[in-house]
Amino acid sequence: MRQFWSLTLMVLAGCLLILGSEYSLQGDDHHYRHQVVAKIVYNQKQQQATITGRTKQGVIVTIRGGKQVRQVISNKQDGRFLVRLAVKGQKRVVVQVKGLKAVALTVPVVSKR
């Protein structure tokens, strides 16, 4: 009888330990970035824009500039992404992640050639 209670207490303690560790690990989910932060740097000589930003980790980021569409996967550790895009004659570039609000970036100098 004594062994039964000892075994029961050990099983109960194990269950509490597992549930406690699962509960404490759920706090890591709150580090997600629930927005898209992006900036654009325009190279007038090459008529090319470099778009850098940060969002959720490991998600597909869609960048649209005119008829060009590029998709990249953000970094799985910190959510960063970087894309170079030819933006000749375009005024805006739209950065979008599914489920989040799209960010429209204005090209600083638009080439009129």
Question: What's residue 12's pLDDT?
Answer: 84
Query: Which residues does residue 45 pair with via DSSP β-bridges, in sequence order?
Result: none
Domain chopping of the chain, boundaries: 1-31, 32-106
Question: What's residue 60's pLDDT?
Answer: 95
37: phi then psi, degrees, rounded to nearest 5? -115, 120
Query: Amino acid letter at 47?
Result: Q
Query: Which residues does residue 104 pair with via DSSP β-bridges, in sequence order?
Result: 94
Question: What's residue 22's pLDDT?
Answer: 67
Report yes or no: 49 and 84 within 8 Å, Cβ to Cβ. Answer: yes
Residues of the chain with pLDDT under 50: none
Question: What's residue 58's pLDDT?
Answer: 92
Q: What is this structure's pTM?
A: 0.65
Question: What's residue 14's pLDDT?
Answer: 84
Question: What's residue 108's pLDDT?
Answer: 82
Question: What's residue 75's pLDDT?
Answer: 93
Question: What's residue 50's pLDDT?
Answer: 94
Tell me which CATH code domain 32-106 carries: 2.60.40.10
Q: 10 Å Cβ neighbour count for 62?
A: 14
